[in-house]
Structure 1
Amino acid sequence: MTDHPVERALGAETFARLRARLRETNALIRERGIREYEGRRLVTGYSSREFYDWDLYFENLYLAAFGVAEFCRSNLEAFLARQLVNGFTARTLLKIRPYQQFKPFLAQIALLYCRQTEDWSWPDGALWERLVRYLDYWFWYCDFDKNGLAVWDSADHSGMDNQIRRAGAYGEQRVEGVDLNCYLLRELEAMAILAERRGDAPAAENYRAHARGLRETAGRVFWDDGAGFFFDRDERSGERIRVKSAAGFIPLWTGAASPEQAERLVKEHLANPAEFWLAWPVASWAADEPDYGQELHDWGCNWRGTTWIPVNYMLMHGLIRYGFRELAETLARRSLELVLKNPATREYYNAETGAGLGLDPFWGWSNLGCLMLPELLLGLDPTDQERPFPAGWAAGLFELPFTEEKP
């Protein structure tokens, strides 16, 4: 291994441990994560063999660091192949949840593929039309009061399974999610880039105009100046749902927060050890919420206090965006320590003790905890949709091609 700034910053021992974990993870993905489904090679981070929506985006961010782009395309095509005529695209492939549309990440996944391969001819034809209809579905069928903000079906739909008090029970379809509409903002921006590359300037401008409007609406409707926090909104009552969830920090990642809002959000809440900045940050649910807990098993996985690496990943890049580099580096280092202190990478973690929880081993989105600090040190942000994509950067840094089979 050559002397490299990242290796020096981590130290030789940590760098070696990190490389070993990456090698183990890549072997698990090759051997257990790649599956045949309806004639396609797909990837999943789950031993259950289910395929999920936003997981696919984060899984492919990890794979892109090793120069692997094929699953952006094959998984996306598999989901869109099952789209209904109104644009509804289920967020799972095996066990369909009615009314739970694929979370707003499909356009970002498509763009991730194009940025890696520089093949801007895809998606084309009918597949492009399906992508357009999928995004239209969110605004036509998931915005009942037509204020421009879409609603989650439920906490289960949001992916933050048991955050029912802030995102609703199964089938309620009433909560305009801060996170949801921030993801939609990024989808609109991704569609604008894809449309422009297709030579459709009017469509690109329409998507950009829609994104500008959504950014303004979200910043105004969700922000509570008294609390200094972004809260979800109950579409039926019109009231903000005053529950502090990590979803309230997603505007940092998408750039939907003003500098003043970001300052308060970070200093009063994110970096607050009484709320989110616990021993192993970032807690998914504020510690001063009455139903906070690290060992809850009431609905799906626990998102009411535990730490989830994809949230940390988004927040690290959001903190850098708003000038909180020192805090971002602390978060990146703690995330790496959290992953490596456990014998195997896990699905999520106890924010108080650092103990791994959920699937064991897990080869899905938690792998990003291994890449956060190197990305920060190298000045990389693979989620920045306007920047050139550094495909395969980790394979080069760690001298670890994804196809490697020898230790």
Structure 2
Amino acid sequence: MGSLAMMAEALGMEVEGAMWRRRAAAIVRRMIEVFWDEEAGLFRALHDSQPVPVVTPFNLYPLWTGQLPDQIRDRLIAHLTDPDQFWGEYAIPSVARNDPHYAAETMWRGPVWVNINYIFVEALRQVGEFDLASTLREKTLHLIMDQPGIYEYYHAETGEPPPTAAEAFGWTAAVFIDLAIQASREEEVQSSGESNDGDR
């Protein structure tokens, strides 16, 4: 809904833009009320009204809204940048490294999927963490470039494609192209001495 607000405002539809921003803010408030786990410092999915006990990047997705209170935003970033969980040389594993369900080679149980990384590059930019966003972007680009092909997912400890990972995978290629363009634009901006805050 935040995107709808931006589109409305770009079209000069200020009333509609304000309406979509109010709706987006209401959803964020409700999301915090229902899914925020204060003790763990992250959001929990629910199954049959019970919290799902696995820690994955999806527990941190609300960061992408750019509308969280500072104390919640900071706790999510702390989880994301903890190398025992999600950061480290090969970020971001699909299950936290210190979670008992983590399995480095099993699909969606641990390997790195670059489409997930892309979401967090955008989320970090959304909340003004441009240096972290650039770091994650570089980690992702090197993860892909260090292998002889473009794969579906990557081992979270070695960076290599597990045997079951498909090669010549479409969304990995698409993410690589977009992140490479971002990196190129950032280099151009830096060389010209301008600010790149929020630049696409």
TM-score (norm 2): 0.78
1:264-284 CA-partner distances (Å, limit 9, x unpaired): 2222x2122221124310111
Query: Following TM superposition, by how much is the alpha carbon of 1:198 offset from its aligned partner in structure 2, in angstroms?
Result: 7.3
2:193 alignment counterpart: none
The one of 186, 208, 215 equivalent to 2:28 is 215
Instruction: Map 1:71-90 to 2 at 5 A.
Output: none
Residues 201, 321 of structure 1: alpha-carbon distance in 2 compared, 3 angstrom cutoff? closer
1:364 aligned to 2:171? yes
What is the deviation of 1:329?
2.4
SS of the residue 2:76 aligns to:
helix
Match of 2:111?
A: 306
The C-alpha deviation readout for 1:178-224, integer Å capped at 9, x for no partner, is xxxxxxxxxx2333455567787665544332212101111232221
State the partner residue of 1:316.
121
CA-CA distance at 1:310 after TM superposition: 1.6
Question: Which residue in the other structure is 2:56 paired with?
Answer: 245
In the alignment, the residues of structure 2 paired with residue 278 and residue 303 of structure 1 have an alpha-carbon distance, to the nearest angstrom, of 18
The question of 1:285 aligning with 2:100 is answered no
CA contact (8 A) 2:91 2:136 kept: yes
Distance 1:200 1:256, change over 3 A: closer
Q: CA deviation at 1:285?
A: 0.7
For residues 312-357 of structure 1, the C-alpha deviation after alignment (integer angstroms, 9 at most, x for no partner) is 1121222233343333222111111111011111121111111125
**Which runs of structure 2 are paired with 1:336-347 in the superposition (5 Å)?**
336-347=141-152
Secondary structure class of the residue paired with 2:73: helix
Larger radius of gyration: 1
Separation in 1 of the partners of 2:112 and 2:72? 23
Rounded to whole Å, the distance in 2 between the matches of 1:321 and 1:191 is: 16
Q: Is the 8 A contact 2:130 2:197 kept in 1?
A: no
Map of 1:322-401 to 2, 5 A cutoff?
322-357=127-162, 358-372=165-179, 374-375=181-182, 377=186, 378=189, 379=196
CA contact (8 A) 1:284 1:308 kept: yes
Please tell me the residue identity of whatever aligns with 1:233: L
Distance 1:217 1:273, change over 3 A: same
Q: Give the 3 Å change call, closer, same or farther, for CA 258–273 of structure 1 in structure 2.
A: same
Q: Partner amino acid for 1:190?
A: S
* Identity in percent: 29
The number of aligned residues is: 188
CA distance in 2, matches of 1:367, 1:341: 17
| C-alpha distance 381-221 of structure 1, shift in aligned 2 (>3 A) | same
Provide the C-alpha distance between the structure 2 equivalents of 1:293 and 1:195, rounded to a whole number of angstroms. 44
Is the 8 Å Cα contact of residues 339 and 370 (structure 1) preserved in structure 2? no
TM-score (norm 1): 0.41
Gaps of 5+ in 1: 1-187, 297-301, 383-389, 391-407
* Counterpart for residue 191 of structure 1: 4
Gap regions ≥5 residues in structure 2? 190-195
**CA distance in 1: counterparts of 2:197 and 2:128, whole angstroms:** 15
Pairs within 5 Å for 1:23-38: none
Moved more, 358-367 or 329-338: 358-367
Q: CA offset at residue 308 of structure 1?
A: 1.1
**Which residue of structure 1 aligns with residue 37 of structure 2?**
224
Where relative contact order (Cα < 8 A, 6+ residues apart) is larger, the structure is 1
Letter in 2 for 1:259: D
Query: Residue 170 of structure 2: SS of its match in structure 1?
Result: coil
8 Å Cα contact 2:150-2:167 kept in structure 1: yes
CA gap of 1:346–1:340, structure 2 versus 1, over 3 A, is same
CA RMSD of aligned residues (A): 2.7
CA contact (8 A) 2:150 2:172 kept: no
